[in-house]
Each structure stands twice: as structure tokens, then as C-alpha cells.
């Protein structure tokens, strides 16, 4: 129900509008200013923002104010995320309410509900083929259920993240259905062509996202006489962001979801939003204009809401999504640190951190403006080996050869590997082979044949969690990784899933195993308690604030990865042994980098040195002050 705005409400809206207008309207003028309908579009947008603000519940307006006063709230070390599919974690939205104590027990303060908006029936690309942005997947519940869960999470200090797909809708979306019936207004919401000439020209420079299951980037529909741009799948129609009506529609959706209690909008597939002939149609400059403008809209009408921009690309292409140049501090608040994830697995396989150190030191700034990373070791998706030929050559490797080695190692076919995974989307033309697999299986737990092998797998998992907790930003734990769940091969028996090996690392939550987490000496209990301890220690360490500079340090030992967090309260030096053997680094080197007390904040124990060396056990993780 609409609320009658107070004078104070009007004043707050006007102040926020004035604050963000310089970030919003120059972007819109650059994108749409030459159009004859620009003035009308601008008026409609301001009215939509005002309406969204007027309809915002009072408790969320209070949250807006609180987060305006503490704009670094999401960078604080108490932030720790958990990511899950609703049905695989709790069955339904209401089922989540019974699992909140479990999330509290682990130390979670941020929850990402994997795609929960209403998808098309049948194959929906895991829920990313959305046919209604304003309804919940009926298999999970209703929008009323969603609001109940959002309120319960907020009462426990847990922020809620949901996916908003920006590049495309399902072909069953109401807009697409109208377009298919010939409505010119809605045909202009999509990229539709009367003949294949332009699609064929575009195809010359485009890449295929899913070459096995959805080759090409266009689909011909003889019944409507159109070729439609379908980057990902035939049932996902790309939106035409050159049409300001699309921008306005999405802003209204954003505000609708924000007013249902969403704290973080995970903007999916953002790199593909703008098309330009002769390019890959990825990460074009207009994409960043659009994303800055969308962020400004949120700051005006729902200031508590963050934007997480999903762009799994190379570092130089990823960093602009967190704001660079004229967009610095004005675009996304969060983006996935894909490179940290890739380099973790690379160093784990080679027992050599030189490539990791080179990539993270060379391509990433030591801090970001009004933004931070979402750090992770595993997620719902496959792992693509984003290692460039240039970076590989810098440390004496062949890029092609190293990428092939990593695929073989983590598939489980390389001699001596500890990993068990599955190939995903093999590209015979380029040799690109991506990998699916759970954290525990890729880390060696599934293949472990004896207690020593199990021990090494457990230590690899805990080292990974300690790494993402220490790097900064918001560490994200993918459901089941805190219990060391291994690959789930049951997907092969489901005809709707069997074509997609990513379901091997999307298991159903083992609540029976979770009940045993407080007892026994099992891998599940050890990993749970280890992960819980890491997150608890992280919360107590101010140097792990996302705004504190992080600087890679050369340890002089290729088996050890090291970095500093240079905080006003003093330096924290993080050390990680990426091998199954004991390693050493010089005490004098550590002290020269600012370490004084030789205390490990992770274990809260003093670190004893031997003959001037800091000695690290296999897969050790140490946070020195």
C-alpha cells in the first residue's frame, strides 16, 4: 500500500536526488540524450524513483539512513557470506527460517539466495532464465514468504542478496511474448532482426558462451520471422539497453525488490549488456555508464542497497566494474575476485605461488574506492582457467600448456593428482576445458585413500577459507563447503540436469551430517569448526577491513604466498604454505615488513622461530602481527 510521504521524507528524497544526480544524468544524457524522447524518459525516471521511495517501508528507510551514516558497513571484517540454492539448502523459503540458527552458528552475516525469481518452466539455466522479476519461483514459495525471510534475516543482522539478470529475460517473459506477437514497442525491448545479415556480421567477432549446448549467439524464429540475439541460450533473449524504456523498467524492478527487503542486488551477466559491431560485445564503455546510472538510482531511492556486479573476466576488464577513472567509487560496490580463486587452484596444483604473486601484485590496486571484493574458492559455476599467455610467460610458463595442465589435474586424469572433478564445455577448437567439482573433491577428500590423504585435504580446504577471509572484502562460503561435501553424481540420473556437469558441485544439503558438526573427529566436523573459527577470528581483526591496503610480498620461497594488510593499527602479514611439505621463511624478512609480536591472530598463539626461520607446516595459514 502506498504511504503518504511526510515533509521529512520529501526532504530526504530531494537531498539524495541532489547528491546522486551528478552521477546519474550525465550518464543518461551520454546514452540517450540524442533521442527525441529523452526528456519524457527523464521525467518518468524521476517519478519512478520518487514513487519507489514513497513506497519504501519505514524500517528500510531507517536502514538507508544507518548505512548512509556508516557507508563502510559492507567492508567491515564481521561480514561473511553464505551462498545456496533454496531448494537444495532448505526446500522452500519458509524452510530457511528453520535454518537460521545454523547460519548464526557458522558466523554468517550475508546470505545469497541463488536464483529465486520466477523462471521459465523446464530448462531455465539454473534459474537465470527469468519470466517474471516480481514473482518468486512457485517451487520455493511466494513473495510474502520472501519478505518474511528477509525480515527474519535482517533481525539477525544478516544481509540478503538476490540475483537480478540484466542481460536477458526468458522468452516467456511478458515483454518477450508481446514482442513475439508483433508489438513494435516490445520488439524494441530486445535485439531482433528481419534477416540474418547483421547477425552474421556480429558473429564474426563474438564468442560462444556455451558452445556445446547453445552454439552461436542468435536464434531464428520462423513463426515470427525474426532472428533474436540469444547470447546464452535459445530461451534467453538479450535486452536492448540502447532503448531507455528498458532502463526504466529495470529501475522499477530494482526498487520493487529493494522494498521487499533485498540488501544486495547481484547484477548478473553485466558484461554483455551493450552491443557494438566489430567487438566481442563485452564490457563496452556504455556498460559502465549504465551500471553507474543504475547505482545512482539505488542511492537515491534505496540507499541501503548494494550492487554486486557479476563479471567473471580478466583483471583489467574486471576492475572497471568496481569503478575506475570517471566511474571511480560510483559503480559496483562488490565484484567477484575471480583471479584470487583461479590462482588458489593453480598454486595448489603446482605447489608454486609465483604466478599467483605476479598476477595479484601486477593487476590489482592495493585498495578500492567505496567498493571491495567478494572473495571465494568455489561457487555454483564451473572454473575457467583465466590465465593469460602474458602472465604465464612472466614466470616462465606456457599459457596454453598451463591451462591444459590445470584442466587435467582437476579433472583427475593427471598422474599424481589429488583432485576429482569433471570437464565442462570442452572447446575442441581452442583446447579450452573448464572444470566442475566441489571444493572438497577438488582439494582431494574424495580421492583420499588413507588418513594422511584425508588430513591433507582438510588442511587444503581450511587454508582456502583462511585465504579468502584474510584478503579482504566479503568471503563467500558456498553451501556444503563448510562441511566438506564431496561431488554429487546423482545429477547424471536426471534428464534435465545430465547435460550440465556443474550440478556435480550443487549437492543437496546433508542435514544429517550437519547435525554431527559438533561432535567427532570427522572431516565434516573439522572443516566446520575450522571455518567457523576462521570467520570468528576475522571478525576480531580490524586490519581485515576491506578498505585496508593489501600488498603482495615476496617471501623468497615459491611454496609460500604472502601479503600485508597495512592498517593504521599496524601491519598484518598473512602467510600460506601451498605445499604438503614443511616450508620456511626468514624471521628477519617478516620483521622488516612490520611484524613485531610474532603472534598468529588466526590461532591466537605465539609463533616460535627456529634458527631465524618461521617454520610453516603443510598447508599452514598464519596471520602475523
Please give the Cα distance from 510 to 526 (Å, whole number): 16
Instruction: Report pTM.
Output: 0.95
3-class SS at 71? coil
Q: Can 584 be counted among the known catalytic residues?
A: no
Q: What is the mean pLDDT of residues 468-477?
A: 96
Binned at pLDDT 50, 70 and 90, residue 427 comes out as: confident
The 8-class DSSP code of residue 415 comes to T
Residue 557 contacts residue 585 (beta carbons within 8 Å)? yes
> What would the mean pLDDT of 214-236 be, rounded to a whole number?
94
522 has pLDDT over 90: yes
| From 163, 172, 252, 310, active-site residue | 310
- The band of 6, judged by pLDDT with boundaries at 50, 70 and 90, is low
Whole-number percent of the chain with pLDDT over 70: 99
Tell me, rounded to whole angstroms, the distance of Cα 119 from its chain centroid.
20
C-alpha cell of residue 290: 549504465
**3.90.226.10, 2.30.130.10, 3.90.400.10, 3.40.50.720: CATH of 174-238:** 3.90.400.10
485 CB contacts (<8 Å, ≥6 apart)? Answer: 438, 440, 507, 510, 513, 524
Q: How far apart are CA 422 and CA 383, in angstroms?
A: 11
437-441, 470-474, 482-486: least confidently modelled range: 470-474
Residue 286 Cα distances to 43, 186, 321, 369, 587, angstroms: 22, 22, 12, 21, 50
1 pLDDT more than 60: no
Confidence of residue 137 (pLDDT cuts 50, 70, 90): very high
The DSSP line for 369-414 is SS-EEEEES--SS-B-----HHHHHHTT--HHHHHHHHHHHHHT-S
* CA separation, residue 554 to residues 424, 465, 585 (Å): 35, 22, 10
Q: What is the pLDDT of residues 99-135, one digit of tens each?
A: 999 999 999 999 999 999 999 999 898 899 999 999 9
Burial 39-77 (b: 16+ CB within 10 A, else e): eebbebbeebbbebbbebeeebbebbeebbeeeebbbbb
Q: Is 268 known to be catalytic?
A: yes
pLDDT band at 2 (very low <50, low <70, confident <90, very high): low
- Tell me the domain boundaries of the chain: 174-238, 544-624
Cα 186 to Cα 441: distance, rounded to the nearest angstrom:
46
User: Which pairing describes strands 264-268 and 159-165: parallel, antiparallel, or unpaired?
Assistant: parallel
Catalytic one among 125, 172, 268, 408? 268
CA distance 381 to 295: 26
Q: What are the Cα distances from residue 522, in Å, to 83, 269, 458, 515?
A: 23, 39, 10, 12
Contact 475, 375 (CB under 8 A): yes
Q: Is 10's pLDDT higher than 60? A: yes
Say if residue 597's pLDDT is above 90.
Answer: no
- Is the pLDDT at 3 greater than 70? The verdict is no
Are residues 264 and 257 in contact, defined by beta-carbon separation less than 8 angstroms? no
- The grid coordinates listed for 536 are 570468528
**C-alpha atoms less than 13 angstroms from C-alpha of 119 in its C-beta half-sphere:** 18
| Structure confidence at residue 215 as a pLDDT band (50, 70, 90) | confident
Place 97 in a pLDDT band, splitting at 50, 70 and 90. Answer: very high
What is the overall mean pLDDT for the chain?
95
The answer, yes or no, to whether residue 487 has pLDDT greater than 80, is yes
Query: In whole angstroms, what separates CA 25 from the centre of its chain?
Result: 28
Percent above pLDDT 90 for the chain: 91
CA distance 332 to 329: 8
**Per-residue pLDDT, 311:** 85
Averaged pLDDT for residues 443-448: 98
Count the Cβ atoms, other than its own, within 10 Å of residue 181: 10
Question: In this structure, are residues 162 and 109 in contact, taking their beta carbons and an 8 Å threshold?
Answer: no
* pLDDT tens by residue, 545-573: 999 999 999 999 999 999 999 999 899 99
Q: Per-residue pLDDT for 430 more than 90?
A: no
With b for 16 or more beta-carbon neighbours within 10 A and e for fewer, the 500-526 pattern comes to bbbbbbbbebeeebbeebeeeebbbbb
- In this prediction, residues 30-50 reach a mean pLDDT of 98
Nearest C-alpha neighbor of 360 from the set 548, 584, 554: 554
Which of 472, 478, 470, 473 minimizes the C-alpha distance to 443? Answer: 478
SS3 321: helix
Element containing residue 69 per DSSP (H, E):
helix 58-69
306-309/334-336 β-pairing? parallel
What pLDDT shows up at residue 7? 64
Nearest-angstrom CA–CA distance, 254 and 321: 18
Three-class SS state of 178: helix
The span from the first CA to the last CA of the chain, in angstroms, equals 54
What's the CA gap between 625 and 616, in Å, rounded? Answer: 16
Instruction: Examine the pLDDT at 18 and tell me if it is beyond 60.
Output: yes
Phi, psi angles (nearest 5°) of residue 471: -65, -30
| Cα 476 from Cα 183, distance rounded (Å) | 43
- Domain 544-624 -> CATH class: mainly beta
Q: What is the pLDDT of residues 285-338, one digit of tens each?
A: 999 999 999 999 999 999 999 999 998 777 888 899 999 899 999 999 999 999
With 90 as the cut, is the pLDDT of residue 210 above it? no
Assess contact for 281 and 274: CB atoms under 8 A.
yes
d(CA 54, CA 17): 13
599 pairs with which residues across the strands?
606
pLDDT in tens, 308-321: 999 877 788 889 99
Residue 34 clears pLDDT 80, i.e. is over it: yes
Amino acid at each position: 500500500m502506498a504511504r503518504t510521504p511526510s515533509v521529512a521524507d520529501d526532504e530526504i528524497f530531494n537531498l539524495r536526488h541532489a547528491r546522486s544526480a551528478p552521477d546519474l544524468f550525465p550518464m543518461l544524457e551520454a546514452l540517450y540524450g540524442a533521442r527525441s524522447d529523452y526528456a519524457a524518459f527523464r521525467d518518468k525516471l524521476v517519478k519512478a524513483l520518487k514513487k519507489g521511495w514513497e513506497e519504501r517501508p519505514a524500517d528500510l528507510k531507517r536502514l538507508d539512513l544507518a548505512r548512509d551514516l556508516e557507508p563502510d558497513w559492507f567492508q567491515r571484517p564481521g561480514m561473511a557470506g553464505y551462498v545456496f540454492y533454496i531448494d537444495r539448502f532448505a526446500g522452500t523459503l519458509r524452510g530457511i527460517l528453520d535454518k537460521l540458527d545454523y547460519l548464526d552458528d557458522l558466523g554468517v552475516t550475508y546470505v545469497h539466495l541463488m536464483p529465486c525469481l520466477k523462471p521459465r518452466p523446464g530448462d531455465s539455466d539454473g534459474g537465470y532464465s527469468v519470466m517474471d522479476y516480481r514473482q518468486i519461483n512457485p517451487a520455493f514459495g511466494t513473495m510474502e514468504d520472501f519478505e518474511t525471510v528477509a525480515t527474519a534475516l535482517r533481525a539477525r543482522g544478516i544481509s540478503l542478496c538476490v540475483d537480478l539478470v540484466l542481460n536477458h529475460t526468458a522468452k516467456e517473459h511478458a515483454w518477450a511474448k508481446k514482442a513475439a506477437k508483433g508489438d513494435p514497442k516490445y520488439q524494441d525491448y530486445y535485439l531482433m532482426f528481419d534477416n540474418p545479415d547483421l547477425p552474421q556480421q556480429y558473429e564474426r567477432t563474438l564468442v560462444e558462451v556455451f558452445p556445446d549446448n547453445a552454439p552461436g549467439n542468435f536464434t531464428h524464429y520462423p513463426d515470427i520471422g525474426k532472428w533474436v540475439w540469444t547470447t546464452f541460450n535459445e530461451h534467453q533473449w538479450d535486452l536492448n539497453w540502447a532503448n531507455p524504456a528498458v532502463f526504466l523498467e529495470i529501475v522499477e524492478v530494482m526498487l520493487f525488490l529493494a522494498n521487499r527487503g533485498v540488501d544486495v542486488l547481484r547484477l548478473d551477466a553485466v558484461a554483455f549488456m551493450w552491443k557494438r559491431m566489430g567487438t566481442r560485445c563485452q564490457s563496452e564503455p556504455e556498460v559502465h555508464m549504465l551500471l553507474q546510472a543504475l547505482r545512482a538510482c539505488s542511492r537515491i531511492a534505496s540507499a541501503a542497497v548494494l550492487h554486486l556486479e557479476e563479471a567473471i573476466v580478466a583483471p583489467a576488464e574486471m576492475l572497471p566494474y568496481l569503478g575506475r577513472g570517471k566511474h571511480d567509487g560510483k559503480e559496483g560496490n562488490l565484484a567477484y575476485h575471480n583471479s584470487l580463486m583461479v590462482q588458489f587452484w593453480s598454486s595448489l596444483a603446482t605447489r608454486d605461488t609465483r604466478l599467483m604473486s605476479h598476477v595479484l601484485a601486477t593487476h590489482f590496486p592495493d585498495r578500492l574506492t567505496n567498493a571491495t571484493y567478494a572473495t571465494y574458492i568455489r561457487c555454483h559455476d564451473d572454473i575457467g582457467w583465466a590465465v593469460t599467455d602474458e602472465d604465464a610467460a612472466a614466470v616462465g610458463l606456457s599459457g596454453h600448456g598451463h591451462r591444459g595442465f590445470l584442466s587435467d589435474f582437476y579433472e583427475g586424469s593427471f598422474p599424481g593428482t589429488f583432485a576429482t572433478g569433471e570437464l565442462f564445455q570442452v572447446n575442441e577448437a581452442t583446447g579450452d576445458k573448464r572444470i566442475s567439482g566441489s571444493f572438497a573433491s577438488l582439494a582431494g577428500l574424495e580421492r583420499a585413500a588413507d588418513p594422511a590423504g584425508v588430513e591433507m585435504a582438510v588442511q587444503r580446504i581450511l587454508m582456502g577459507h583462511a585465504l579468502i577471509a584474510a584478503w579482504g572484502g566479503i568471503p563467500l562460503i558456498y553451501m556444503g563447503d563448510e562441511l566438506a561435501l564431496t561431488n554429487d553424481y546423482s545429477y547424471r540420473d536426471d534428464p534435465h540436469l545430465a547435460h550440465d556437469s556443474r550440478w556435480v558441485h550443487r549437492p543437496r544439503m546433508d542435514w544429517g551430517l550437519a547435525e554431527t558438526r559438533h561432535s567427532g573427529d570427522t572431516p565434516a566436523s573439522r572443516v566446520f569448526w575450522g571455518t567457523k573459527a576462521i570467520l570468528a577470528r576475522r571478525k576480531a581483526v580490524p586490519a581485515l577491513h576491506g578498505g585496508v591496503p593489501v600488498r603482495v610480498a615476496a617471501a623468497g620461497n615459491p611454496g609460500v604466498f604472502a601479503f600485508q594488510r597495512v592498517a593504521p593499527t599496524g601491519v598484518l602479514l598473512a602467510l600460506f604454505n601451498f605445499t604438503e611439505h614443511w616450508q620456511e621463511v626468514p624471521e628477519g624478512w617478516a620483521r622488516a615488513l612490520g611484524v613485531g609480536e610474532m603472534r598468529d591472530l588466526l590461532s591466537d598463539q605465539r609463533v616460535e622461530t627456529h634458527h631465524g626461520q618461521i617454520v610453516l607446516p603443510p598447508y599452514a595459514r598464519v596471520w602475523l602481527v
